[in-house]
Structure 1
Amino acid sequence: MGWSLVRLIVVAASAAVAAFALNLLSEAAARFLATRGRTGATPSLLRGCRPPLLAATACGLMLAGEPWARAAPAVHGAVRHLLVLATIAACAWLAARLIALLTSGAMQLAGRRRDPAWAGRARTQAGLLGRICQAAVAVVALGAMLMTFPAVRGLGTSLLASAGLVGVVAGIAAQSTLANLFAGIQMAFGDLIRIGDVVVVAGEWGTVEEITLTSVVIATWDQRRLVMPMSYFAGRPFENWSRRTSKITGTALFHLDHRTPMPELRAEFEAFLAKSSLWDGEGSALQVVDTTPTTIVVRALMTAPDADAAFELRCQVREHLVGYLCEAHPHALPRVPVAPAAERDESHTPDPTG
């Protein structure tokens, strides 16, 4: 019994020394690669994977050295089972960390591209693939750990015998979840929505902030967060203002008097856009698009590089043109005609008594 305890201590100490040596080696490799200056992502990858790598190495060495320790029969099975569970968990942790870091690296590389549409598509697809792979690793690791228990292994054998029935029941129970999952894959690889897209969903305007396996998080202009199920985007129409390009055309409507001097107003509008940093210079127009018995409807049209700039430019155009009309052409502002009511002629009022 005493020698078995000594052997277990020797195995644990050897595993700890090997893990410590691996830690020093990985740190030295990371520092060497960092000094090279050409592979900046590799040192971060090594440092991020170091804790799970050390855990997996230590557990694997202890599992390999456990037969040499010759533990007492009363604890031999429990110790080995515990080491197997720890090794599986450490390997799953390492795989999940590798997937997360590789996904992060891919998203950072995509962010360096000058094309924002391509970068958004790559970030969305990389993030979704990373989450799917991490979920698969977790499910496989959990299944492998459970299968180490004899009772669960027997239950798994009986379940496999009725796999068809179990599959039908699971499919019905998880119908909503599976629908959202497949809708997310369709949205990501169908290039219908990406992280950073400006969308209008259910009458709300906002920016796609996060895409998970089953939902989309939209940040609205007033700092609210809309969490929409992924199946909503696969089954209902929605507006995507930046699917191919972030450029957008903004409009502002004015209700003015019929005597409004349109040439002067159009010249002032063009002069204001020429001085504005929000206008991209690609298009503009000031047109009378409708008339009513008392007013004309003037539409100011201007292009902007993105939705935020278009909104700000529309507000500035409204403010500037209204101020210009108040100062230079007050008669162009809309008026409400008021006339005195006609007096009632009592001579023609019929006599109710006859």
Structure 2
Amino acid sequence: MENVLRPLIVLGGSVVLTLLIGWAVDLLLRRADARHSETGLWGRLRRARVPFQFVLCVALLRGSYDQAQVAREYSADVGRILTLVLIGSTAWLIVGIATAIVETSYSRYANAHRDPARVRRVRTQVTLIQRVVSAIVGVVAVAAMLLTFPAMRAAGASLLASAGIIGIVAGVAAQSTLANLFAGMQIAFGDMVRLGDTVVVDGEWGTVDEITLTFLTVRTWDERRITMPVSYFVSKPFENWSRGSAQMTGIVFFQVDHSAPVDAMREQLRDILRECPAWDGRDYGLAVTDSTPNTMEVRALVTAKDADDIWTVRVTVRERMIRWLTEEHPYALPRVNTADAALPPGHTNGQPPRPDRGRVHEPPRTGPGRG
């Protein structure tokens, strides 16, 4: 009977104690979050309650497993397994706590500063710091798991002796990976590109959607995702429309007939922009920039507060200006000239006249016997 009750008491007691302690800690976090709701830290720490309970339960089982006296011949193996699980769950808990602290710091900064560029820069840095911390914790956890095996501890001296050679070989083999790693850190703290920036890369226009230590993802206007190594952004030129001020200037070209009313088009552009909410009111203009034998090129210049609004202004001006020309001045639209060309004097039916100089004129003949 004792052989049955002892394991049940040990296992059941560990589970019950874990649930009680987890409930008490969660209650304290809820109360702290209610009192200090402006920080948000306590509410984010509650997300780590599952790994906390897992760590607590495994630790209690690891400490009390010997008292259960179950499968004594496998006691060492079970203890090692519990140790491995405890190390992994502890790493999980540390990452959760670090994530809560980092997100809280970013939220405070975002609420205190209204500059979108600075907020995006801090967000990029915080995201990469969070990834670095997670990677370091993961590496340490894996190393700690390996050291629980006696064979790994015995081989520790030889591993340390050959660490220099292994490091050189690994550095040569993974030089592209290391280049991307250092490029990611340079992007994060060099403020070259940030999350949410509008960029043009290889002719593709989009928004930076994700930045990791090795790659960067750009979300295009048609919802595609372009994934590129971060080393690209430190070795090749690219356009960052969000760098500095987000204000932008856009142009719209029109091909019209030479008889188009340019002054009336300029006034119509002003009326269109006044009715367009995306126009920021800074500047506008319309001028003839080029001409061909059949048409002339008219350029409309508009401004907006950011890349999204400049796109809206451009398409609005293009649509409404073409509609206005079609309805009010149809003669101003490009035409294909099908009229006959005016011929020079003396030309008939497109053939030049025959020259009369040097031609011999014979007298007219009136009869067969006349000579």
TM-score (norm 2): 0.84
The corresponding residue for 2:306 is: 306
Q: Which runs of 5+ in 1 are unaligned?
A: 349-354
Q: Structure 1 residue 323 and structure 2 residue 323: aligned?
A: yes
- For residues 225 and 132 of structure 1, the distance between their equivalents in structure 2, rounded to whole angstroms, comes to 24
- For residues 36 and 97 of structure 2, the distance between their equivalents in structure 1, rounded to whole angstroms, comes to 22
Per-residue displacement from partner, 1:213-251 (whole Å, max 9, x unpaired)?
Answer: 211111111111111111111111111111223221111
Superposition deviation, residue 182 in structure 1: 1.0
Q: Classify the secondary structure of the residue corresponding to 1:245.
A: coil
- For residues 73 and 87 of structure 1, the distance between their equivalents in structure 2, rounded to whole angstroms, comes to 21
Superposition deviation, residue 325 in structure 1: 2.0
The corresponding residue for 1:244 is: 244
Q: Structure 1 residue 181 and structure 2 residue 181: aligned?
A: yes
Classify 1:116/1:164 alpha carbon distance in 2 versus 1 (closer, same or farther; 3 Å): same
Q: 2:121·2:188 contact (CA, 8 Å) conserved in 1?
A: yes
User: Once structures 1 and 2 are overlaid, which stretch shifts more, 139-148 or 112-121?
Assistant: 112-121
- For residues 34 and 91 of structure 1, the distance between their equivalents in structure 2, rounded to whole angstroms, comes to 24
Superposition deviation, residue 107 in structure 1: 4.2
The corresponding residue for 1:74 is: 73
Superposition deviation, residue 265 in structure 1: 1.4
Q: Structure 1 residue 334 and structure 2 residue 345: aligned?
A: no
Matches within 5 A, 1:282-297: 282-297=282-297
Q: 1:285·1:301 contact (CA, 8 Å) conserved in 2?
A: yes
Superposition deviation, residue 142 in structure 1: 0.5
Q: 2:106·2:123 contact (CA, 8 Å) conserved in 1?
A: yes
Aligned residue type for 2:140: V
Aligned residue type for 1:47: R
Q: Classify the secondary structure of the residue corresponding to 1:282.
A: strand
- For residues 4 and 149 of structure 1, the distance between their equivalents in structure 2, rounded to whole angstroms, comes to 30
- For residues 276 and 76 of structure 1, the distance between their equivalents in structure 2, rounded to whole angstroms, comes to 76
Superposition deviation, residue 338 in structure 1: 4.3
Q: Classify the secondary structure of the residue corresponding to 2:282.
A: coil
Q: 2:45·2:97 contact (CA, 8 Å) conserved in 1?
A: no
Aligned residue type for 1:262: V
- For residues 95 and 37 of structure 1, the distance between their equivalents in structure 2, rounded to whole angstroms, comes to 23
Matches within 5 A, 1:199-210: 199-210=199-210
Superposition deviation, residue 63 in structure 1: 3.5
Classify 1:41/1:198 alpha carbon distance in 2 versus 1 (closer, same or farther; 3 Å): same
Q: Structure 1 residue 170 and structure 2 residue 170: aligned?
A: yes
- For residues 3 and 159 of structure 1, the distance between their equivalents in structure 2, rounded to whole angstroms, comes to 48
- For residues 331 and 70 of structure 2, the distance between their equivalents in structure 1, rounded to whole angstroms, comes to 101
Q: Classify the secondary structure of the residue corresponding to 1:237.
A: coil
Superposition deviation, residue 30 in structure 1: 2.5
Classify 1:39/1:308 alpha carbon distance in 2 versus 1 (closer, same or farther; 3 Å): closer
Superposition deviation, residue 139 in structure 1: 0.9
The corresponding residue for 1:259 is: 259
Classify 1:4/1:333 alpha carbon distance in 2 versus 1 (closer, same or farther; 3 Å): same
TM-score (norm 1): 0.88
The corresponding residue for 1:41 is: 40
Per-residue displacement from partner, 1:52-106 (whole Å, max 9, x unpaired)?
Answer: 1122223333444456667886334223322321221121110121223333334
Q: 1:254·1:299 contact (CA, 8 Å) conserved in 2?
A: yes
Q: Which runs of 5+ in 2 are unaligned?
A: 344-349, 356-371
- For residues 198 and 307 of structure 1, the distance between their equivalents in structure 2, rounded to whole angstroms, comes to 7
Aligned residue type for 2:60: L
Q: Structure 1 residue 233 and structure 2 residue 233: aligned?
A: yes
Q: 1:288·1:298 contact (CA, 8 Å) conserved in 2?
A: yes
- For residues 214 and 281 of structure 2, the distance between their equivalents in structure 1, rounded to whole angstroms, comes to 40
Aligned residue type for 2:125: Q
Per-residue displacement from partner, 1:248-281 (whole Å, max 9, x unpaired)?
Answer: 1111011223333222211111121112101011
Aligned residue type for 1:327: E
Aligned residues: 347
Aligned residue type for 2:77: A
Q: 1:5·1:71 contact (CA, 8 Å) conserved in 2?
A: no
Matches within 5 A, 1:189-228: 189-228=189-228
- For residues 235 and 8 of structure 1, the distance between their equivalents in structure 2, rounded to whole angstroms, comes to 63
User: Once structures 1 and 2 are overlaid, which stretch shifts more, 61-70 or 26-35?
Assistant: 61-70
Matches within 5 A, 1:95-106: 95-106=94-105
- For residues 45 and 329 of structure 1, the distance between their equivalents in structure 2, rounded to whole angstroms, comes to 63
Q: Classify the secondary structure of the residue corresponding to 1:280.
A: strand
Superposition deviation, residue 131 in structure 1: 0.9
Aligned residue type for 1:261: P
User: Once structures 1 and 2 are overlaid, which stretch shifts more, 129-138 or 336-345?
Assistant: 336-345
Superposition deviation, residue 27 in structure 1: 2.0
Q: 1:85·1:145 contact (CA, 8 Å) conserved in 2?
A: yes
Greater radius of gyration (CA): 2
Per-residue displacement from partner, 1:129-179 (whole Å, max 9, x unpaired)?
Answer: 111110111111001101111222233431211111100111122112111
User: Once structures 1 and 2 are overlaid, which stretch shifts more, 26-35 or 232-241?
Assistant: 26-35
User: Once structures 1 and 2 are overlaid, which stretch shifts more, 58-67 or 165-174?
Assistant: 58-67
Aligned residue type for 1:186: Q
Q: Classify the secondary structure of the residue corresponding to 2:219.
A: strand
Q: 1:197·1:208 contact (CA, 8 Å) conserved in 2?
A: yes
Q: 2:45·2:96 contact (CA, 8 Å) conserved in 1?
A: no
- For residues 12 and 39 of structure 1, the distance between their equivalents in structure 2, rounded to whole angstroms, comes to 40
The corresponding residue for 2:364 is: none
- For residues 332 and 284 of structure 2, the distance between their equivalents in structure 1, rounded to whole angstroms, comes to 22
Superposition deviation, residue 13 in structure 1: 4.2
Classify 1:246/1:4 alpha carbon distance in 2 versus 1 (closer, same or farther; 3 Å): farther
Q: 1:33·1:40 contact (CA, 8 Å) conserved in 2?
A: no
Q: Classify the secondary structure of the residue corresponding to 1:283.
A: strand
